[in-house]
Chain A
Amino acid sequence: MESKFTNDQVFDALKQQFGDAILSLENTTDNYLTVFVQPNEAHEMIQWLYNHAEFKVQFLTNITGIHYPDNEEGKELVLVYHLHSLQNNFRLRLKCYLSIDNPVIATITDIFSAANWLERETYDLFGIIFENHPNLKRILNEDSMDYHPMRKEYHLEDQTRQDKDNRFFGR
């Protein structure tokens, strides 16, 4: 079924409500609404979309992180929220730039309890710290791991192994 709202309607409503917290619009191949927002405003924005009478964006599809090492200062990590309004069949993405030295953002587990593990996984793999998250610990890797593996500078393979000779594996 077709979604009831177009991207511009929702974008204008967001722009009108949050003004300069909305940084820029990005069009993607699957033309879902993708908006760059200020990290400290993200929590209110999601709360506002959740309680919005018409939009009713009340389903959190996904939280994930992306690492762009060669972005300029303070924009190396990007946190992506995928939100979805089931009643109106409308999907949107909120993206926030975070600096790599203190990637801190407010947790949204108070709005969506689904965010609990998603945030723990993003913390585990990217090192993004979610303030007042009930139990921010590593979820997929061992607790004794000291680095965040999904960042681009880390190798895929386990560096402590000796039996694979790099020459034969094109490394």
Chain B
Amino acid sequence: MSEDLTKIDNTNVPANMESHDTIEGEIATLNLGPTHPATHGIFQNVLKVDGEKVLSSEQTVGYIHRAFEKLAERRPFHQITPITDRLNYCSSPINNIGWHMTVEKLAGIEVPKRVQYMRVIIMELARIADHLICNSVIGVDTGALTGFTWMFIERERIYDMYEEVCGARLTTNIGRIGGFERDFTTGFHEKIKDFLATFPARFEEFNSMFERNRIFMDRTIGVGGISAERALNYGFTGPNLRAAGVDYDVRVHAPYSSYEDFEFYVPVGTGGDTYDRFCVRQEEIRQSIRIIKQAYDNLPEGPYHADVPGFYLPKKEDVYNKMEALIYHFKIIMGETPVPAGEVYHSVEGGNGELGYYLISDGGRTPYRLQFRRPCFIYYQAYPEMITGQTLSDAVVTMSSMNVIAGELDA
């Protein structure tokens, strides 16, 4: 195998490849390369292909490595939130709120009940948005573009709801350490009522296009399968692991932000193939709607942020009239938040699995070390094992069903 990966030579065949007689034709080297319609992101797979069957795959990642962890060591705690939502940018609120919870766990901040419910609503909306994009892209890769166009309209409605809460659409920087910067506006209430009323019906329409569709089932059942033990050994988490049959979900396993108050179940597949991943994500969208309904119906009254003046920016009129508020305002803006020294690992259930933050702080302005446990980066290693022996078109569908997001892959 050539040393420099950017040069592919198909002259020498890897040792473990049995040689083919000439009637069968030589082994071809195919490049599922950096710019490719099938790789919804920027990563490279050098495939050894015999006819249509994939024999082996060699991966190169790191094409958009942006040094998140080094950047995080240079920024005060509340300025790291904009970085976290560029990790998995399809569901950035989950990353933001996960990061805020990590700092609250380190600083020992108790968040009022209303904030926990608001956070659950926002995170479940983000999970719906993430699964929508993944499942409609599986549709695109099996040739049905309509699903994508339909479901993007729904995603735009979720964007509108984000805008009501935080003003941004995709990279949301939602919430603050200790709560939210503003309560749910009336616009948000209308939009979420309208969303909860009309989205399930449209979603079932989208689902009816794929779930019992003969072509889709033939294209995805038994494709890119992985067994439960191999999935666990490869560090799978999230929908891909649940599709393989292991019901590990951080929201149930280690409930955070009062997830234990809501009643929902965790869908689990059997075969671990692309069809199971698709169905697990579809079912998770339905469960997320259930959670949002429960959380929205009994949203408790109370403040929308914890009373932690050291972390939470005071109101503008207080800043102009009160001395302490001015001092707090100045200290927070300059990044002097009183974060104690310590070490904490906190994980949330992201769109792709257990999204973990390992934060070590030495009491200074910025974290001493912040490491993101990025689920995509860990489970994408299993890709060669899942596609060896399958045909090329199955390799493409398997890649999009694993929902590998380039930003999270090479942070």
A and B touch in the complex (CB under 8 A): yes
Chain A interfacial positions (CB closer than 8 Å to B): 1, 26, 28-30, 32, 34, 58-62, 64, 66, 80, 82, 86, 89, 91, 93, 112-114, 116-118, 121, 125, 138-141, 143, 149-150, 156
Chain A residues with Cβ under 8 A from B108's Cβ? Answer: 29
B371 lies within 8 A of A64 (CB): yes
B345 lies within 8 A of A30 (CB): yes
B246 lies within 8 A of A82 (CB): no
Residues of B361-385 contacting chain A, CB below 8 A: 368-369, 371, 373, 377-382
Chain B residues with Cβ under 8 A from A91's Cβ? Answer: 345
> Contacts A28-B343, A66-B369 known; A80 to B62 CB distance under 8 Å?
no
> Contacts A30-B345, A86-B248, A140-B410 known; A117 to B69 CB distance under 8 Å?
no
Chain B residues with Cβ under 8 A from A86's Cβ? Answer: 232, 246, 248, 253
How many B residues touch the partner, as a band? 35 or more
Among B20-28, B168-176, B303-311, B352-360, the stretch in contact with A: B352-360
B360 lies within 8 A of A112 (CB): no
Chain A residues with Cβ under 8 A from B343's Cβ? Answer: 26, 28-30, 34
Name the contact of A118 in the complex, choosing from B73, B253, B358, B378 (C-beta under 8 A): B378
Chain B interfacial positions (CB closer than 8 Å to A): 4, 61-62, 65, 67, 69-71, 73-74, 105-106, 108, 230, 232-235, 246, 248, 253-254, 340, 342-347, 354, 356, 358, 360, 368-369, 371, 373, 377-382, 410
Residue on A with the closest CB to B252? A1
CA A143 to CA B60, docked complex, whole Å: 11
A32 lies within 8 A of B246 (CB): no
Chain B residues with Cβ under 8 A from A113's Cβ? Answer: 230, 233-234, 381-382
Chain B residues with Cβ under 8 A from A149's Cβ? Answer: 67, 70
Chain A residues with Cβ under 8 A from B74's Cβ? Answer: 156
Query: Closest 3 interchain pairs by CB?
Result: A114-B235, A140-B62, A29-B342
B410 lies within 8 A of A114 (CB): no
A30 lies within 8 A of B346 (CB): yes
CA A32 to CA B358, docked complex, whole Å: 12
CB distance from A69 to the nearest CB of B (A): 11
B344 lies within 8 A of A125 (CB): no
Name the contact of A156 in the complex, choosing from B71, B235, B340, B379 (C-beta under 8 A): B71
B235 lies within 8 A of A29 (CB): no
Chain A residues with Cβ under 8 A from B230's Cβ? Answer: 113
A117 lies within 8 A of B381 (CB): yes
